[in-house]
Amino acid sequence: MPNLEGALHMSVDEKTVARIAHLARIKMDEDKLGPMTEELNTILKWVEQLDEVDTENVAPMTSAVETTLHWRKDEITDGEKADDITANAPRSEYGFFAVPKVIE
Amino acid sequence: MSDMMKTGIVQGALTDWEMVIGLEVHAQVTSNSKLFSGASTDFGGDPNNHVSLVDAAMPGMLPVINAECVRQAVRTGLAIGAQINKYSVFDRKNYFYADLPQGYQISQFKYPIVGEGVVVLDMDEGKTKDVGIERIHLEQDAGKSVHDQHPDMSFVDLNRSGVALMEIVSKPDMRTPEEAGAYVRKLRTILRYIGSCDGNMEEGSMRADVNVSVRKAGDELGTRCEIKNVNSVRFVMQAICYEAQRQVDILEAGGTIDQETRLFDPNKGETRSMRSKEEAHDYRYFPDPDLLPLEFDDAFIDAARETLPELPDAKKARYAHDLGLSDYNAAVLVAEKENAEYFDALLEEMAAKAGKAKADVAKQAANWVISDLFGHLNKAGLSVTESPVSPAAGAELLALVADGTISGSVANNKVLPIMWEGGKSPEQIVEDEGLKQMSDTGELEAIIDKVIADNPGQVEQYRSGKDKLFGFFVGQVMKATQGNANPGVVNQILRPKLDG
Amino acid sequence: MTDLTKLTIAEARDRLHRKDLSAKELTQAHVKAVEDARALNAFITETPEQAMAMADAADKRLASGDAAALTGIPLGIKDLYATHDVLTTAGSHILDGFKPRYESTVSQNLWDDGAVMLGKLNLDEFAMGSSNETSFYGPVKNPWKATSGDNMGKDLVPGGSSGGSSATVAAGVVMGATATDTGGSIRQPGAVTGTVGLKPTYGRCSRWGIVAFASSLDTPGPITRTVRDSAIMLGSMASYDAKDSTSVDRPVPDYEAALTGDIRGMKIGIPKEYRVDGMPDEIEKLWQQGREWLQDAGAEIVDISLPHTKYALPAYYIVAPAEASSNLARYDGVRYGLRNVGDGSSLDEMYEATRAEGFGGEVKRRILIGTYVLSAGYYDAYYLKAQRVRTRIAEDFREAFGTVDAILTPTSPNAAFPIGEKMSDPLAMYLNDVFTVTANMAGLPAISVPAGLNSEGLPLGLQIIGNTFEEGKILCIADVMEKAAGFDAKPTNWWSK
């Protein structure tokens, strides 16, 4: 866990970008890593200015809207539409979604 | 192994090791529809038939919370005496898996709905142990994948995707597999009592993630491994034994334990590493921006509390204290809500029939339910709710025993089986089968005298010290009376006559 | 025929209701305009048959006297809105072939009112962009062209992400269009195409069925030719939706009735922080002109300060990508859209290959930023920090609205620029939203009104920001300003054969 003081002044290296790309499940070719790393660092450097804002004792915004969470009644109002659910599937079999085999 | 079950001590080659166990139990909330969608929570069903667009994570879909799931989580928290948090937040837990259509699970990370509580375990010999609960939070269940229907494809069914789960996290307070088993059993009992989860482990409505680590006495906590989705009490205990031994073997060989997620294979009785979760988890939790914080007031909590039934611990204490039942019998009756309900109904009927206080008939009722009724139910493979003998019928039967019309063994061996087939009342059966117990001292004395006269050899042997022959004489009396002699009266008359 | 495409929604409505015009004729004219405007590349999917069928239904309603304001009005729908059985792409390769079996709440509201769908409009991929250049379906061309200066003869951007919406409204191809605004994606395109772009209060219009980009910022709204048309469209689009937990349960007022033409006594705030370095003089002048128009109409100009203005954009570029990185995780090749199995070896391989092929560069960039700022160890420093700054921004506005009724600013720091000019520098592109993003961060309603032409002959807009749920008030002020500006320039048609 990195030291959070001045954490906004972090930049990423290619190895980190590769790790993040994997977390996000986006394959990145070796030759694309360099340029992407540069672009990300440009953006990260630019957002560093947020450090200038005093946010001591300021609550993070939980919602942009002034309202309370609406609770739904416990009724079955949905489902029974397996066709709609699988209609756009790239591959389906017997009503299931089919994907390359997962080995646990 | 069975010693390890009880003691939690792994006898290593070099030294003894103790286990530290914590459990995260995932309990499916009993509700009609899912946590954030209106699709049915029914088990089974054709693939993807209990799935809404929201559960399938179609583009543009949004979650809306089910009020009943909130209520059930609060009720569960109250049932374990836990702190109820009037403000809690739903967070997204981000990761990729075939059964997780959104690419994130809506869960609660920083601010769960329920805080600390306690579950009291019923151990042997009437002992108890407190296991601390860290928290309970609400989260979505994932769908299901099957991997064995096709050579190179896995099939995904999202029926279960989005069903509400309560994740009940214990503190690492358990030290033996037995305690872990007792914990799961007790938790299940409580959930079934209050009706917030049906506790059906075979169907997957309750599953346990078991955290196990080992250490030498006096040492700090060791690195733990998590064994995921264990779906029976027996497997929980077996998995712990295997895993603890596995860790000890590694440590004694000089190795270290990798913190990892494992699966229990019940066929082999072993745990193995889950390949798909090998990398370190970075779930990138953040509050779900499609939802607002979950808030409710004391009135809501109070209303939920009103709906709780008498809980097992309180019921057991009342059975023992007010009704005078033994701790063992009280525990057996309380273990399943349906057992207690049957027992309570039976008591009601018996007390009314006999015009007595419940405390006066409780012992007889308890013994009958536990030995006789359960005996027959087990043999027939039925649960108490499927009993062909109702509490009212049971009360009638027991009244006949109480007033001496029939003996307890005749009731169990001759009358109850016929009642089981249905149609006849106990009185009717006794009448039809001629089972009325013979208690008339005059009649019995005559028969006893005859038996003694007919068996002079045995009388001689008995009088010269063979006490065991008493049973022979009782047997002869029973034979002569087709088993209807009142054993108590027979003993009373026979003994002095034999002793001479 | 061409006259019909020059009508405003209000004018067409009146003529339809007077039986002066049939919905069929009106739609026919626009279907032809759609065909003739293909050079703009503004449509991803044209739906002429459906449009004619809807026009027929509209005529029936008009005949029976059961018509609403939008009955028979042909509209374009940004391809971020799910439309039943009609290809919905979000401008992305990853949603190839996706035909929803459902309709978004906002577009359903429009169909319930009898409007007509001409087709699905091009946009920046997943609404990420300010120029409509990131679309898998190619860039949209602004119907406006520079009449002098270095950019003469070049194809210009129509703004973004709702570039297809703004271009078609400006070119008279659709009478109005739906759009979404997350950082400025309705108002900025409005400004650079000389159209009216309205971003309502967050939660005013339902997000259900609209492909999510950044959940706490996405706001559906209309792009139209006039302020009155904007009021009419908003009245139909807005509703409380129980299927959207962030939807606000407030009655929808009659927005057209708010256009009283009277702003006497209203206080208009001028925030000093919106005067940025390098801002062209023309824009400064136009802003000054805007103040005068409103003063002449009886409003009072008040200098105000919104101290955290400059931090809104960097904070946005933490919050929006973070939410997007999570919202876009569902595009994985399993249940809809593109699937690329890669070398076929595993599920992870399929995810990685599908998403690498399916997402464009800007989307990937934002997903990576978002994944990074949420990752272990960085959450507090980035995401939490940005959300705290957001609270500060909202506080600035709350304070300002204690003294003023509305705030006047330029909409965009520049006019339309040539396609390709800013693609190499992401930051240069992001800066297009510097004046608009504050309203998104605070959840406030804001409208861009065409105010004048710059020296190149390209449109410039002025923005009015209001307090929560005061769409009526800002529409009223915008209506007054629109009349004062008298902006009646139209792009010269170079796009139809």
Which chains border A (3 or more CB–CB pairs < 8 Å)? B, C
Strand partners, B20: B213
Whether A70 sits inside 8 A of C245 (CB atoms) is: yes
User: pLDDT of A8-25, one tens digit each?
Assistant: 567 899 999 999 999 999
Shared domain for B145 and B198, answered yes or no, is yes
Q: What confidence score (pLDDT) does residue B275 get?
A: 61
Flag whether pLDDT at A102 surpasses 50.
yes
Domain range enclosing C293: 1-497
d(CA C133, CA C167): 13
pTM: 0.92
Which chains border C (3 or more CB–CB pairs < 8 Å)? A, B
Q: What confidence score (pLDDT) does residue C276 get?
A: 84
* CATH number of the CATH domain containing B481: 1.10.10.410
Neighbours of B83 (CB within 10 A): 11
Q: What confidence score (pLDDT) does residue A1 get?
A: 40
Whether B263 sits inside 8 A of A104 (CB atoms) is: yes
Whether A78 sits inside 8 A of B152 (CB atoms) is: no
Token digits for C431?
């800066």
Show residues of chain C in contact with B92, CB under 8 Å. Answer: 326
pLDDT in tens, chain C (497 residues): 458 999 999 999 999 999 999 999 999 999 999 999 999 999 999 999 999 999 999 999 999 999 999 999 999 999 999 999 999 999 999 999 999 999 999 999 999 999 999 999 999 999 999 999 999 999 999 999 999 999 999 999 999 999 999 999 999 999 999 999 999 999 999 999 999 999 999 999 999 999 999 999 999 999 999 999 999 999 999 999 999 999 999 999 999 999 999 999 999 999 999 998 888 899 999 999 999 999 999 999 999 999 999 999 999 999 999 999 999 999 999 999 999 999 988 999 999 999 999 999 999 999 999 999 999 889 989 999 999 999 999 999 999 999 999 999 999 999 999 999 988 888 888 888 999 999 999 999 999 999 999 999 999 999 999 999 999 999 999 999 999 999 999 999 999 86
DSSP string, C279-343: --HHHHHHHHHHHHHHHHTT-EEEEE--TTGGGHHHHHHHHHHHHHHHHGGG-SSSSSS----TT
Domain range enclosing B378: 310-433
Q: What confidence score (pLDDT) does residue C376 get?
A: 83
Shared domain for B272 and B286, answered yes or no, is yes
B285 in contact with C at a CB cutoff of 8 Å? Answer: yes
Identity at B184, one-letter amino acid code? V
d(CA B166, CA C41): 51
Closest CB from B104, B154, B282 relative to C326: B104
User: pLDDT of B254-273, one tens digit each?
Assistant: 999 988 899 999 999 999 99
Shared domain for B399 and B472, answered yes or no, is no
* CATH number of the CATH domain containing C14: 3.90.1300.10
Which chain B residue shows the shortest CA-CA distance from A63?
B292
Shared domain for B474 and B426, answered yes or no, is no
Residues 85-124 of chain B whose Cβ lies under 8 A from any Cβ of chain C: 92, 94, 96, 98, 101-104
Q: What value, to the nearest 5°, has the Cα angle with vertex A67 and ends A66 and A73?
A: 170
d(CA C472, CA C215): 25
Secondary-structure percent of chain B, ordered helix, strand, coil, rounded to 5: 45, 20, 35
Dihedral of the CA atoms C280, C283, C284, C289 (nearest 10)?
Answer: 160
Helix (H, G, I), strand (E, B) or coil at B145: strand
Whether C330 sits inside 8 A of B103 (CB atoms) is: yes
Unique residue bearing structure tokens 């009449």: C147
d(CA A14, CA A18): 6
d(CA B74, CA C314): 40
Strands B206-215 and B225-230: antiparallel
DSSP string, C396-437: HHHHHTTT-SEEEEES-SS---BTTTTTT-HHHHHGGGTTTH
Q: What value, to the nearest 5°, has the Cα angle with vertex B153 and ends B147 and B158?
A: 65
The number of CA neighbours under 13 Å toward the Cβ of A86 is 22
Q: Which residues contact B58 (CB under 8 A, 6 or more apart)?
A: C82, C100, C102, C335, C336
Shared domain for B204 and B316, answered yes or no, is no
d(CA C138, CA C122): 8
Total tally of structural domains belonging to chain C: 1
Shared domain for B415 and B447, answered yes or no, is no
Q: What is the least distance, in Å, from the CA of A81 to any CA of chain C?
A: 10
End-of-domain residue from the set B304, B332, B363: B304
Cis peptide before A63 (omega within 30 of 0): no
Cβ–Cβ under 8 Å, residues B143 and B100 = yes
Show residues of chain B in contact with A100, CB under 8 Å. Answer: 152-154
> What are the backbone angles phi and psi of residue C240, rounded to the nearest 5°?
-85, 130
Helix (H, G, I), strand (E, B) or coil at B118: strand
End-of-domain residue from the set B433, B451, B485: B433
Closest listed residue to residue C107, CA positions, set C167, C10, C163, C176: C176
Whether A50 sits inside 8 A of C318 (CB atoms) is: yes
Token digits for A35?
């340029």
Neighbours of A11 (CB within 10 A): 13
Total tally of structural domains belonging to chain B: 3
CB contact burial C184-202 (16+ within 10 A = b; e otherwise): bbbbbbbbbbbbbbbbbbb
State the best of A32, A65, A66, A93 to mutate against chain C, taking most chain C CBs within 10 Å: A65
Token digits for A71?
């609770």
Flag whether pLDDT at A103 surpasses 80.
no
Residues 78-137 of chain B whose Cβ lies under 8 A from any Cβ of chain A: 89, 96, 98
Whether B38 sits inside 8 A of A98 (CB atoms) is: no
Cβ–Cβ under 8 Å, residues C448 and C188 = yes
Distances from the Cα of C156 to the Cαs of B143, B271, C151, in angstroms? 48, 63, 8
Q: What confidence score (pLDDT) does residue C385 get?
A: 95
Closest listed residue to residue C221, CA positions, set C189, C186, C245: C186
d(CA C378, CA C385): 10
Which positions of C are catalytic? Answer: 78, 161, 185
State the best of C86, C88, C245 to mutate against chain A, taking most chain A CBs within 10 Å: C245
Q: What confidence score (pLDDT) does residue C312 get?
A: 97
Domains of chain A, each with CATH number or no CATH: 9-53 (1.10.20)
User: pLDDT of A40-85, one tens digit each?
Assistant: 999 999 999 999 999 999 999 978 887 899 999 999 999 999 999 9
Whether C332 sits inside 8 A of B65 (CB atoms) is: no
Shared domain for B494 and B410, answered yes or no, is no
C90 in contact with B at a CB cutoff of 8 Å? Answer: yes
Alpha helices, DSSP H, located in B253-311: 298-306
Whether A23 sits inside 8 A of B70 (CB atoms) is: no
Q: What confidence score (pLDDT) does residue C277 get?
A: 83
Strand partners, B271: B264
Token digits for A81?
């539409």
Dihedral of the CA atoms B223, B226, B227, B231 (nearest 10)?
Answer: 130
Shared domain for B246 and B269, answered yes or no, is yes
State the best of A29, A38, A47 to mutate against chain C, taking most chain C CBs within 10 Å: A47
Shared domain for B429 and B452, answered yes or no, is no
d(CA A47, CA C319): 11
ipTM of the complex: 0.96
B426 in contact with C at a CB cutoff of 8 Å? Answer: no
A43 in contact with C at a CB cutoff of 8 Å? Answer: yes
Segments in chain B below pLDDT 70: 1-2, 275-280
Neighbours of B454 (CB within 10 A): 11
Show residues of chain A in contact with B65, CB under 8 Å. Answer: 69-72
Token digits for C172?
């008279």
Shared domain for B326 and B267, answered yes or no, is no
Shared domain for B451 and B493, answered yes or no, is yes
End-of-domain residue from the set B255, B280, B304: B304
Shared domain for B291 and B328, answered yes or no, is no
Q: What confidence score (pLDDT) does residue A2 get?
A: 41
